[in-house]
Amino acid sequence: MDYRIEYTELNGKKDSMYFVFDGKLSLLTSFLDDEVSHFYESMLADFDLVLSGKRRRYECSGNAFAWTIGPKTTKIVDMFPYSEDDDKPVVVGTEELVQLMKEWNAARQEFAEKGSAGVGLSL
């Protein structure tokens, strides 16, 4: 999946980091920030249950999104879309999404350690 990394700034220093997706995958930007950031470990465990064959499918919801994990694909739905254009679910490869979540978590950790804002970065 193609994404670019963007930052928000506070007082001239990088404050937050985002993986930004365009087009139909744009909701992944918020999904990573709103859900994966807060529930990373438990989400990985849920994905592992399906990918290991212990569960056929797993339905989950978080702060703003619901997702259904299948062995091949995962469907992500924005539960509070801003407009009708935003209410379309996104379907992505399950293994690809797990890899993306791992990349996101590693990038966030690196940003927290090396970010220009210094002390006070929240994960």
Give residue-wise pLDDT tens across range 81-121. Answer: 887 766 789 999 999 999 999 999 999 999 988 865 444 44
Query: What Å distances lie between residue 56 and 46, 53, 70, 79, 82, CA to CA?
Result: 11, 6, 7, 23, 32
Q: Quote the percentage of the chain above a pLDDT of 70.
A: 91
Confidence of residue 15 (pLDDT cuts 50, 70, 90): confident
Higher pLDDT among residues 26 and 87, named by residue: 26
Query: How far apart, in whole angstroms, are the C-alpha atoms of residue 102 and residue 63?
Result: 20
- The C-alpha torsion from 36 through 41 and 43 to 46, rounded to 10°, is 170
| Confidence (pLDDT) at 122 | 45
| Confidence (pLDDT) at 116 | 53
- pTM for the full model? 0.87
| Confidence (pLDDT) at 31 | 96
